[in-house]
Amino acid sequence: MPQTPANDETKPIATSSPDAARPRLRLAPPIQRVVTSLGILCGFSRSCPGCADIRETQGICPACTAESAGPAGPWNTTQISSLFLEQLIPVRYFGHYEAPGGGGRCRIADLLATFKYRGRRDAGRELGRIFTRFPPPMRERFDAIVPIPLTAEKLHRRGFNQAAWLARSASRALRVPLRAELLSRISDQDGPQAGRSGVERRRLGPNPFCVPARPGRLNEARILLIDDVCTTGTTIAQAARALLCAGALHVEAAVLLISDRSITR
């Protein structure tokens, strides 16, 4: 997916995080893996999918959440230009892609890479749970949830659209219909985006997204776009522009992770 800033799975897992938020039980990794497996099999312990620390509760641990979260905690909002009638697109993001202090990507980004590039559906389910934690004010503000689509070729190659997985969780949490058919991706014409600035990407050519619907179908619709990563905002801007040009009234976006290239931490 062109929007993802790092598809290099050889990057080390970042380990910097607030010590106070770390779980207290620390074992040598081989012993920890054995204990974790035994505990999970016996039903009396679980492990964080981000750091594998043993915990009493299910899901991503507070330390992994804190590592990617902004100063105000998880789920913050920024705005990007839609490149259409000067409309701005609010973008909600759960956390930052990069670990604090230049320590590579965060553990949640590692979990996302495990999902996207190794096809680990258990990782996808854990990430989907994040999208059940939308703040209540978002309820009943949208008519449709639309995942950022892949091209047909990439969808065939990968076998699934990671944004659609996250969008299904958001649809259930917000009780808003999932309408993936409202937006298509015609091409990846902008190619690999790593290392390019937002201005460079916007000069690369026509919009790779289109709305394959008859005129008027999006009339007055309020749409929430969902994606896994926002690198410079160009993908979301192009998708939002396609929806607004086709008659959508309002478009916002929610992403799992945002790159420090999009917003100052």
Segment interacting with Zn ion (CB under 5 A) among 46-54, 94-102, 161-169, 199-207: 46-54
95 contacts Zn ion (rule: CB under 5 A): no
64 contacts Zn ion (rule: CB under 5 A): yes
Segment interacting with Zn ion (CB under 5 A) among 48-56, 70-78, 172-180, 189-197: 48-56
Segment interacting with Zn ion (CB under 5 A) among 10-18, 53-61, 161-169, 208-216: 53-61
Looking at beta carbons only, is 61 or 183 nearer to Zn ion?
A: 61
242 contacts Zn ion (rule: CB under 5 A): no
Contacts for 34 with CB less than 8 Å, ≥ 6 apart: none
112 contacts Zn ion (rule: CB under 5 A): no
What is the x/- site pattern for Zn ion, positions 175-204, by CB under 5 A? Answer: ------------------------------
50 contacts Zn ion (rule: CB under 5 A): yes
CA dist., res. 255 & res. 94, Å (int) = 7
Exactly one of 51, 176, 180, 257 binds Zn ion (CB under 5 A); that residue is: 51
Tell me the closest approach of the beta carbon of residue 65 to Zn ion, in angstroms: 8
CA dist., res. 209 & res. 245, Å (int) = 11
Residues in contact with Zn ion by CB under 5 A are 48, 50-51, 61, 64
